[in-house]
């Protein structure tokens, strides 16, 4: 995990503020009760030097959905949040970066009832390379199935990308590191494959691509949706179907998707070798990066251009 690289500005509650001044009170409600919602987004710089944010509007729409589920009145429209993101990236002169919008309940009340707590909205951006290491995209990573189960759909809804949801992810990630793995895979309460600590999962067997359905308790990933679209382009058969732990062990290829992880191949699961990234993974990786670098005209609507030096 890379450290955060400080830049000049963070967008907070409608204005750009110096990085060091983007603070919040230690008694903010969401710090104590986990009632924040957030997104992870990437801006890519193409080899030709053009910078674009990938699926910015889709992310901000999901942020609004998360806020609605969490009963948070988000005071900015999707358009305003998209414009603020572009403003922030350009002000910091970031040709490529990771973007973190977060909406949380601030200072003013204490106790489980958040009524009366001010809603704070922040967007930060900073340079960030490969999420799971420099060679992860090329050679893949080792993962282990966690002893921690993903939360029930009637505990914390999987459709909300909330700060509270990630306690499970933290526990699973630390356990995975202790066992020598780069990442963890969590099962749901029924014992079916759910997701990674911050990624969706895909397996390939006999040329067919499979991913668990959202009804199995996983986040509705935007990169996941992108991969399903790209698989259709490449005429790769794709299914949304429940998967068991054994399906991971006997797969020809396995990979994870997410805004941070992008398309990261998995080389082994619980010590069972999957091997080097296979032809389906490679084809989808190539297509994905062609799209984010603006080389596929039919997906131009997924890209929001930014102007940087």
Q: Which residues are catalytic?
A: 161
| Distance (Å, whole) CA 266 – CA 274 | 7
Among 43, 23, 41, which Cα is nearest to 31's?
23
Confirm if 182 and 142 have CB atoms less than 8 A apart. Answer: yes
Q: Which residues pair with 11 in a beta bridge?
A: 16, 123
């Amino acid at each position: 995990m890379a450290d955060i690289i400080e830049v000049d500005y963070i967008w907070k509650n409608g204005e750009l503020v110096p990085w060091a001044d983007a603070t919040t009170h230690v008694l903010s409600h969401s710090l104590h009760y986990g009632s924040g919602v957030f997104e992870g987004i990437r801006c890519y710089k193409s080899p030709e030097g053009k910078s674009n944010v990938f699926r910015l509007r889709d992310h901000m729409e999901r942020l609004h959905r998360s806020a609605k589920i969490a009963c948070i009145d988000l005071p900015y429209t999707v358009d305003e949040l998209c414009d603020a993101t572009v403003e922030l990236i350009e002000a910091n002169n970031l040709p490529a970066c990771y973007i973190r919008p977060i909406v949380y309940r601030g200072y003013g009340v204490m106790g489980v009832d958040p009524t009366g707590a001010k809603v704070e909205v922040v967007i930060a951006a900073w340079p960030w390379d490969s999420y799971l290491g420099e060679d992860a995209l090329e050679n893949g990573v080792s993962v282990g199935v966690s002893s921690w189960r993903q939360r029930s759909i009637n505990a914390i809804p999987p459709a909300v990308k909330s700060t509270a949801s990630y306690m499970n992810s933290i526990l699973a990630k630390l356990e995975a590191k202790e066992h020598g793995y780069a990442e963890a895979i969590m099962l749901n309460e029924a014992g079916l494959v759910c997701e990674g600590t911050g990624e969706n999962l895909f397996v390939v067997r006999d040329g067919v691509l499979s991913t668990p359905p959202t009804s199995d308790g996983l986040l509705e990933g935007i990169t996941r949706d992108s991969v399903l679209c790209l698989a259709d382009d490449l005429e790769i058969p794709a299914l949304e179907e429940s998967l068991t732990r054994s399906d991971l062990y006997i797969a020809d290829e396995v990979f994870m998707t997410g805004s941070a992880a992008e398309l990261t191949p998995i080389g082994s699961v619980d010590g069972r070798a999957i091997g080097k990234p296979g032809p389906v993974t490679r084809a989808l990786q190539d297509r994905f990066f062609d799209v984010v670098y603006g080389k596929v005209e039919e997906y131009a609507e997924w890209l929001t251009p930014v102007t940087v030096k």
